[in-house]
Amino acid sequence: MASPPLPPLRDVIAAHGLNASKALGQNFLLDEQLLDRIAAIPGPLEGQRVFEVGPGPGGLTRALLRAGADVVAVERDARCIPALAELGHAFPGHLHVTEGDAMAVDARILAGDGAHIVANLPYNVGTALLVNWLSCSWRPWWASLTLMFQQEVAERIVAPVNSDHYGRLAVLAQWRSSARIAQKVHRSAFTPPPKVMSAVVHIVPEDEPQGVDFRVLERLTAAAFGQRRKMLRQSVKGISGALDAMADLGIDPQRRAETLSVAEFVAVARALSRR
């Protein structure tokens, strides 16, 4: 679709009085080239549905629309709705905005199966939504996740085994999906700039390993990383059968949680799921 001319985002912000609210975690991205790069992360979007959380003044939204996506968005700040309505007029029929709290709406009903999820959110909201999206029944209803986080949170999501950032979030994000940092974003790219650097994480679902009860895997990782400095023989001893399963798999109980690969956690959880 040929992109219609749009006013600079600074003018949109000024015209609608969108001075950034700290309470809503508002740090806006105004660099259109950077926004186009972020919108390209999910892959070609022509004719694809995208669920965008927290469009704000619509910088990322217009990049997604330019890429040919049909965008369904949820924004909590009522002040942004008229600005987004103007953007909708430039892309008739391709933008549907709901005013509301992303934590309270049913994204699947709003966006429909197969939607790509894209968001630049306050990090606490983003992490809670990420955990929800990764905890749904598999294969998930969404096609991919492209989410901005504080860099430290992004590192925790993609962390490899034997690294400081490796923990429950890494296992959750990696046991049945692939997760990578697709784009680092300097704090100066935001208006106003946040205190720390950011990064966009891209997550694509994969086949779920067979025979693993998700709740068992969760209990296991919670116990193991709840006492991450301790040896596994201490940290997982409260989970019935865990030490026997590790012995059967040849996993040394003197190891610590951060040395157990995602595949090893999955193998222990599979053995426990059978019991």
Tell me the closest approach of the beta carbon of residue 173 to ligand SAM, in angstroms: 21
Tell me the closest approach of the beta carbon of residue 194 to ligand SAM, in angstroms: 8
| 75 annotated among ligand-binding-site residues | yes
Instruction: Mark residues 43-82: x for contact with ligand SAM by CB under 6 A, - for none.
Output: ----------xxxx--xx-------------xxxx--x--
Cβ–Cβ < 8 Å for 222, 189 = no
121: contact with ligand SAM by CB under 6 A: yes
Q: Which CB atom, from 51 or from 141, has the smaller least distance to ligand SAM?
A: 51
Cβ–Cβ < 8 Å for 146, 202 = yes
Cβ–Cβ < 8 Å for 198, 175 = no
Cα–Cα dist 261/221, whole Å: 11
Tell me the closest approach of the beta carbon of residue 7 to ligand SAM, in angstroms: 15
**H helices present in the chain, as ranges:** 9-15, 32-40, 59-66, 80-90, 107-111, 123-134, 151-158, 168-174, 214-226, 232-235, 242-248, 262-274
236: contact with ligand SAM by CB under 6 A: no
Determine the angle formed by the axes of helices 32-40 and 59-66, rounding to 10 degrees. Answer: 60
Query: Among 96-104, 211-219, 235-243, 245-253, which window interacts with ligand SAM (CB under 6 A)?
Result: 96-104
User: How far is CA 11 from its chain centroid?
Assistant: 30
Cβ–Cβ < 8 Å for 262, 175 = yes
| 162 annotated among ligand-binding-site residues | no
Cα–Cα dist 195/56, whole Å: 20
Which of 101, 113, 152, 252 touches ligand SAM by CB under 6 A? Answer: 101
| 29 annotated among ligand-binding-site residues | yes
Which of 103, 128, 196, 263 touches ligand SAM by CB under 6 A? Answer: 103
Query: Among 95-103, 158-166, 174-182, 197-205, which window interacts with ligand SAM (CB under 6 A)?
Result: 95-103
How many residues can be counted in the chain?
275
Per DSSP, the three-state class of 102 is coil
Q: State which residue has the least CB distance to ligand SAM.
A: 54
Task: Kindly list the residues in this chain that would bind ligand SAM in the complex (CB under 6 A).
Answer: 24-29, 53-56, 59-60, 74-77, 80, 101-103, 120-122, 125
* Residues flagged as binding site for S-adenosyl-L-methionine: 27, 29, 54, 75, 101, 120
